[in-house]
Chain A
Amino acid sequence: MRVLLMACFLALPLPGQASELLIALRDSYIRPGFDRLQQESANLEAVSKEHCAPEDTELRTAFGSAWDAWIAVAHLRFGPTETDNRAFSLGFWPDTRGTVPKTLAAMIAAENPAVKDPAQFSEMSIAAHGFTALEFLLYDPALAAPSPYHCTLVQAVTTDIAKTSAAIAADWNGPYGAGYGAPGPDAPFASDLDALSKTYTAMLTGLEFNINARLGRPLGSFDRPRPTRAEARRAGRSLRHVQLSLASLHDLASILMLDLEGAEMVESAFITAREAAAALDDPVFAGVAAPQSRLRIEALQQDLKKIDELARLHASAGLGVSQGFNALDGD
C-alpha cells in the first residue's frame, strides 16, 4: 500500500503530459477505430443493396468485417456511443430474455412496414437493430428464410448500422473529439483526469465484459455449462470476438500505460492471454461442456483476470485515476 502510494506521487502525470496522452488516445486509437467502423458499415450497407440473401458469401463477408470493426471499439462506452443508445443499438448482447429473436419473428410474421422508412425503423426496439439482429437474420434457421420482406428487413438493418456508425464517427471527428482532447468547462470532461478516468474505466469494463460475459456466460458452472449462451455462436464467432476485443484492449493499454511502472507486466500478460486464445481452436466455446476442453477456456479466463488485476494496480496508481461506476454494476 505504501509503495503504491509512493508510485502514485512519483508518476502522477503533469497537466501537459496528460493532455498529450488524451490526444494520442484520440488520434491513434479512438478515431481510427470508429473511422474503420464507419467504412466497414457503409460497405456492408452497399453490399446488402445487391446481395441480400442470407447465405450470400459477399454479404456474409461484409457483415463479418463490419462486426469485427465494432467489436474492436465496443468497449468505448462513453460520449458518442451512448448518445441515442447507439452502442446498445449496434451490439445488444447479452439478450437474456430472447428479445431479439422474438422481435424479429414478430416483424417478419406481420411484415412490419417500418422497414421501408429508415427514420421509423431507427425508432423501433433496439432488439431489431444492429449486428445481433443481423446475425439472426443471416444464420438462424428459424429467421433466415429468404423472402422479399426478409431482404428489405436485412437492408433496413444494414442502413441503420451504417447510419449509427457514421453518427459516432462524426461526433468523434467533430466537437466531442475536440473537447475530449482539451478538457475544460465547456468540454465533455471538466479535467484531464476525468477524461483519463473515463477511458481507464472503459478499458477495465471491456476486460471484465470478456471475463464475465463472453467467457463467463458459456462457462456457466462446472455442473451446468451453457454453450448456447456463447456470443455470436450462430455465426461461429464467439472466440473471435474475445480475440478481437483483447487485441484492441491491448492497443489501448499500451497507449494508456506508456512509460508507467508495471507496463511491461501488463504487456506480457496481454501476450500470454492472446497466445492462449489463439491456441484454443474452439470457435464457439463448445468445449465448455467437456472437462478437458473446459479447463483451457477457464485458463483463458484466468489469463484475462490477471491482466485486469495488473492493469488495475498499475494504471490506477500511475495515472492517478480511479475506476468509476459502470454499466455492469447492476445485476
Chain B
Amino acid sequence: MFRLFLATTALALPLAAHATEKADVLTNYANIAEAKYGDSLATAQTLQTAVEALIAEPSAEALQAAKTAWLAARVPYQQTEVYRFGNAIVDDWEGKVNAWPLDEGLIDYVDASYGGPSDENPAAALNVIANPSFTLGGAEVDANEITPELLSDTLHEADEVEANVATGYHAIEFLLWGQDLNGHGYGPGSRPWTDYAQGDDCTGDNCDRRAAYLKAATDLLVSDLEWMAAQWAEGGDARAALMEDESAGISAILTGMGSLSYGEQAGERMRLGLMLNDPEEEHDCFADNTHNSHFFDGLGIRNVYLGRYVGTDGSVTEGASVSDLVAAADAELDAELRGKLDATVLALGEIKTAAEAGFSYDMMLEAGNAKGEALVMGGVNALVDQTRSIEKAVSVLGLDAIEFEGSDSLDDPDAVFQ
C-alpha cells in the first residue's frame, strides 16, 4: 500500500520527496503503542512471577530478583508516557499505574521523620498494612483482607487526595525498596528482605499483610496493563478513538510530545525538584531510578516522532511518522526538531551516565551542588527547547484550526489537567 502510494505520488508530484498519509502515521503510532504496552505487560508479568517467588520463599535473593524485575519493567513503561496528554483513554487510566508523588505512610510503616497526617492529606500516615480496619474520609473501612479491589476501589486516591497512591509502579517500588532515608546522600531505600519473612523472622511487623499487599498491587498492575494493551490492539478503543479524525489524531501525537516535554517532565518532575532541593522530589525516589525514568521518557518522545520503536526483545516497530509529515511541509523544521530530540536524549543520557557511575539523582538535587544542577538543567533546557520546535510543527502542519472545532488539543489545558 505504502509502496504503491509512493509510486503514484512520484509520478504526480515529482518535487515531493514522498507524501505521507496521515492515516498511515496514525496506524504506525497505534502499532507502536500496542508494542510498548505489550512490552510493559510482559515485563510486569515477569515482575509478578518474581513477587510470587519472594512471597513463597522470602530471601535476600528473591527480593533482589523482584527489584531487578521492577527496574526492567520501567524501561518500556516510561516510553509509553508520551501517549498521555493527547489520548483521553490513557489519561483516564494512567493514575492507576504510575501516580506520583505519593504519601507512602498510607501503605506501610515509615520513619519518624515522615511526620503524621498533613493539611492536604489526613490519611498520609494511615498504614493500611498495620491496620485491618480504620476510618478513611469519614467511612469505616474493613481491610482485613487485602485484595486488588480494596486497593483500587477504596484506597487509591481515597478522600479525593491524589497523594493517596495505593496502586501502581510506585506503590510496588515502595514495598520492595522502602523509604530512601539517605537524604541527599548516595543509596536507595533499604527495606530488609525479612519484611517478608513469616513467623519469628518477620521485621517491620505484619509481614503476611505486607506480602498480601505486594501481591495485590502487582496483580492489579498486570491486569491494568492487560487492559491498556488491548485498547491499542486491532479493534481496540484507543486505536479507534485516534482514527476518528485524522487531524485530531496527529494533533494528539504532538500534544502528548509537547505536554510531556514541557509542563510534566521539564517542569513538574525536574525543575521543581531542583528548585525545592528536595530529595523526595524525584520520580522513582525509593529505588533511586529517576535517571532512567527521565531518560526513557525522553526516548519515548523521540521514538514517537520518528515512528520507530525498538522493543524489549529487540523487535522493531516502524513506519510512517510525524517526522515524515513535517519534513514534507518544512524540511528544515523537521531537521531542527530531530536535532533537538537527539540533544534531549543526550542530555538525559548524561544524567543517566553520571547516576549509574554513583552520582545519583537525589545527590544532584542538593542545594549548592552546581554540577548536579547543571546536569539536571541540561535536561530541562533541552526539553523546553524541543517544545518550541514541537509548537512550530503544530503550526506548520496547520493543526491550529482544530481547536475551533472543539477538539481537545493543545489549547485545552483543562482537559489535560484532569
**A residues adjacent to B (C-beta < 8 A):** 1, 4-5, 85, 88-89, 92, 96-99, 103, 123-127, 205, 208, 211-212, 220-221, 223-224, 228-229, 312-313, 316-317, 322-331
Contact = CB atoms under 8 A, between A and B. Distances in A.
Given A88-B275, A322-B395, A322-B411, A327 B262 contact: yes
A208 B416 CA distance: 12
A125 B278 contact: yes
Contacts of A211: 414
B119 A312 contact: no
B258 A325 contact: yes
B277 A322 contact: no
B101 interface: yes
Contacts of A5: 401
Contacts of B391: 322, 324-325
B340 to A, nearest CB: 14
B262 A329 contact: yes
A330 B82 CA distance: 12
A33 to B, nearest CB: 23
Contact of B275 (A126, A220, A317, A326): A126
Interface string B281-321: 00000000000000000000000000000000000000000
A330 B404 contact: no
Interface string B52-80: 00000000000000000000000000000
A105 to B, nearest CB: 10
B368 interface: yes
A328 B417 contact: yes
Q: Among the interface residues B159, B265, B272, which one has the most CB atoms of the partner chain A within 10 A?
A: B272
B263 A98 contact: no
Nearest to B258: A325
Interface string B114-132: 0000111000000000000
Contacts of B85: 329
B259 A330 contact: yes
B160 interface: yes
B403 A312 contact: yes
B276 interface: yes
Given A328-B263, A330-B264, A99 B276 contact: yes
A127 B276 contact: yes
A124 B367 contact: yes
Interface in B393-418: 394-395, 400-401, 403-405, 410-411, 413-414, 416-417
A327 B269 CA distance: 11
Contacts of A322: 391, 394-395, 400, 403, 410-411
Contact of A125 (B263, B269, B271, B277): B277
Q: Among the interface residues A212, A229, A324, which one has the most CB atoms of the partner chain B within 10 A?
A: A324
A88 to B, nearest CB: 5
Contacts of B394: 322
A84 B160 CA distance: 34
Closest 9 CB pairs of A and B: A329-B263, A330-B264, A330-B263, A329-B259, A330-B268, A322-B400, A325-B262, A325-B258, A125-B277
Contacts of B280: 97
Given A329-B262, A329-B416, A1 B410 contact: no
A123 B413 contact: no
Contacts of A212: 413-414, 417
B390 interface: yes
Interface of B: 85, 101, 118-120, 137, 159-160, 162-163, 258-265, 267-269, 271-272, 275-278, 280, 367-368, 387, 390-391, 394-395, 400-401, 403-405, 410-411, 413-414, 416-417
A316 B416 CA distance: 20
A221 B160 contact: yes
A99 B411 contact: no
B120 A96 contact: yes
Nearest to A228: B119
A208 B163 contact: no
Contacts of A317: 404
A88 B263 CA distance: 14
B379 to A, nearest CB: 15
B259 to A, nearest CB: 4
Q: Among the interface residues A5, A97, A208, A313, which one has the most CB atoms of the partner chain B within 10 A?
A: A97
24 contacts: A1-B401, A5-B401, A85-B275, A96-B162, A123-B368, A124-B277, A125-B275, A125-B278, A126-B276, A208-B413, A211-B414, A224-B137, A312-B411, A322-B400, A322-B411, A323-B411, A325-B263, A325-B387, A327-B262, A328-B263, A329-B85, A330-B268, A331-B268, A331-B416
Contacts of A99: 276, 278
A307 to B, nearest CB: 14
A97 B120 contact: yes
A1 to B, nearest CB: 5
Contact of A220 (B160, B260, B269, B395): B160
Given A98-B118, A125-B275, A331 B264 contact: yes
A330 B262 CA distance: 8
Contacts of A324: 387, 391, 410
B367 A123 contact: yes
A137 B51 CA distance: 48
Contact of B367 (A4, A88, A125): A125
Nearest to B416: A329
Contacts of A329: 85, 258-259, 262-264, 413, 416
Q: Among the interface residues A125, A212, A317, which one has the most CB atoms of the partner chain B within 10 A?
A: A125
Given A1-B404, A326-B413, A331-B417, A85 B120 contact: no
